[in-house]
Structure 1
């Protein structure tokens, strides 16, 4: 009997480039080129509960008042996350760091907005924008720089016959994986292509990788991993990832930690305290990050990551089909929770959004729905 083995990862690595006429992945003359994500903002009703999880996840409190919580990593810079007290949990938007205040002014003039001063706790100036999906986007400059904090150090490894650790044991402590910095945010939109072009034009972001639904490449991409254009200076493979879907929503955010041991031991610390792992540990394909996904007490998906790709401006976008099996090079299969198909309130909301979206004028139509269902079952 002949055994036929199918490689689930065949053609999923996206070093393959664009075909003639496909999206170039960058705007020819963007208004500005942002340098990084500055912070993310959330609304939550219980700041005490949010802070307890944040410390277990590896954040440090930078500011705490009755109505606001600012969380930081160990790197110097602005807070990673700002949580304001609100009646219900919600993602409130993202702030991007401009090169300087001149860029903030240029963006304000191009979009018909005004430049405002940020609160004293943050410092600097900002222009408030709204992307085509309705998400709040701030571009900021001259914000206060918090000093660096002590961080965990990478462990010394014996790789194969390269033995650099002798007469010494390896004992990573089971403690929080200290967050170093904010890495990226993933957003879903019913108007994916319009949203993508808005970010490329106004913020100068460039695409690292495109994904398309199986057998629908001719209709264009449905997901993009987008990085900052810092010229010859490499930046994260993606600072923002955007995907087409039946609703406009936050998907997850990711925070860098020191190394695999730190990530794994930090995960055990979270499990010991009753927190829920969504998916992990594994290594992604697009971006190559070692990942570990968790649900916070309010249901938001957050990721520890380490060892991600860094690209300069010279690399053109890769193209690959989207599939559940193509989300990781190794690790456990993507869970129902991560894929958003668990029988819970969030998936019910998404199901209702599908029905609504299919009745409206947007990019999520019946052919796209069939592609999304094929991805979830692949």
Structure 2
């Protein structure tokens, strides 16, 4: 049986082969600092607000037509939800490193810098990635002050006693979301879209995945972080995967620790919400994870203890398999893999038929590779 080591004993199976994608742009337009917020459209904002409170968000604005949700760390809201006739993901918003970067993007890409709504403050520039997804970059936002966080429990580890004559009783209550961590997107123009984020927003790849037997055709998924120089950043702020349709996959929100995550999950179950997959620990990124479906079917993740890399680390490369999604935990569920009989699953099947008829990167060989992922 083949033994798999790690890339520099850090984060993946191995490094790049000669001539493979370098995972970064030589001369990006700008370098964004972080993911600011995500925007959604939903018909039932009251239902969205109920789930949000159970999941651990704090509303900063709730009107008939708009809902803003924040974590407990200081900063802007991490979700903006607008009322609309159907549920839809409206796109990500990134935080510029410098306000002047907005003008750089606007001039280079034929857009313009515009003031944001009073509740958000600051300025933004609207762009579109090659998949057609609206992307916004912002600066000068209003910042909400920090709120009380969930204090991590004191652990006895091995023979090291840090807690004596005291018990552990984490309450079953909403895990307090601290911040937005990352968003995962799917594109049938994966390579073109990946390169756009690297060239335009200056992001860099932490890990590449490829379909078994198809490495010579290039990667099919990338975990992408912000380039903050010597300052460590989340292993991935954005993840991008090849697929038959252009769509949102999931988004992830940091909580204090595994007890907050697990007890918060028990609270969500008691409230009648649906766990998609968890609890486990990922390989790429190392996060402890727990995935849930919101009332509109969107997949959202609680996570804790993720990796942070500076800009010196080169991308790792590994085969893409369902069993390779976690170091420990239950097998990836049918719901998480998109194999359960949901509306979104049927839409994905229809998308396969369309993608195979149209000009894009998702062809029959890639379909065979994707099928193998679900079986491996």
Q: Which residue of 1 aligns with 2:314?
A: 316
Q: Which residue of structure 2 lines up, in the alignment, with residue 234 of structure 1?
A: 232
Partners in 2 of 1:165 and 1:232 — Cα distance? 36
Answer whether contact 2:5 2:13 (CA < 8 A) is retained. no
Q: Deviations over 1:325-347 (max 9, x none)?
A: 00000000000000001122211
Partner of 2:297, secondary structure, is coil
**1:237: Cα distance to partner?**
0.1
Kept after mapping to 2: 8 A contact 1:9/1:326: no
Aligned to 1:185: 183
| CA positional deviation for 1:207 | 0.1
**Pair 1:90 & 2:82 matched:** no
Q: Is 1:63 matched with 2:69?
A: no
Whole-Å separation in 1 of the counterparts to 2:322 and 2:6 = 14
Residues 293 and 45 (structure 1), Cα distance of their counterparts in 2 relative to 1, 3 Å cut? same
Superposition deviation, residue 11 in structure 1: 7.1
1:270 alignment partner in structure 2: 268
Q: Partner of 2:341: helix, strand, or coil?
A: coil
Q: Which of 366, 370, 373 is the aligned partner of 1:372? A: 370
In 1, are the aligned partners of 2:43 and 2:87 still within 8 Å (CA)? yes
Aligned to 2:206: 208
Provide closer, same or farther for how the CA distance between residues 136 and 333 of structure 1 changes in structure 2, counting only shifts above 3 A: same
1:100 is displaced (CA, Å) by 2.2
Measured after TM superposition, the shift of residue 15 of structure 1 is 4.6
- Over the aligned positions, Cα root-mean-square deviation in angstroms equals 1.2
Quick check: 1:44 aligned with 2:42? Answer: yes
Once the two structures are superposed, residues 16-46 of structure 1 have per-residue CA deviations (whole angstroms, 9 ceiling, x without a partner) of 1100000000000100000000000000000
In the superposition, relative to structure 1, how do residues 89 and 352 fare at CA in structure 2: closer, same or farther (>3 Å)?
Answer: same
C-alpha distance in 2 between matches for 1:99 and 1:212: 31
Match of 2:303 in 1: 305
**Separation in structure 2 between the aligned mates of residue 176 and residue 213 of structure 1, nearest angstrom:** 38
Counterparts of 1:100 and 1:153 in 2: how far apart (Å)?
33
CA distance in 2, matches of 1:10, 1:350: 35
Q: 1:103 aligns with which of 89, 101, 104?
A: 101
SS of corresponding position for 2:336: helix
Q: Is the 8 A contact 1:192 1:222 kept in 2?
A: yes
Q: Aligned match of 1:119 in 117, 120, 123?
A: 117
Q: Per-residue displacement from partner, 1:240-280 (whole Å, max 9, x unpaired)?
A: 00000000000000000000000000000000011000000
CA distance in structure 2 between the aligned counterparts of 1:7 and 1:161, rounded to whole angstroms: 36
Where does the alignment leave 5 or more consecutive residues of structure 2 unmatched?
A: none
After superposition, the C-alpha distances for 1:98-153 in whole angstroms (9 at most, x for unaligned) are 01210111111111111000011101010000000011100000010111011101
2:178, 2:190 → 1: CA distance? 30
Query: Which residue of 1 is the match for residue 244 of structure 2?
Result: 246
TM-score, scaled relative to structure 2: 0.98
1:8 touches 1:326 (CA, 8 Å); kept in 2? no
Separation in 1, partners of 2:6, 2:62:
48
The match for 1:3 is: none
Contact between 1:208 and 1:225, CA under 8 Å: does it hold in 2? yes
Report if the CA contact (8 A) 1:256-1:304 is conserved. yes
Distance 1:170 1:9, change over 3 A: farther
Unaligned runs of 5+ in 1: 1-5
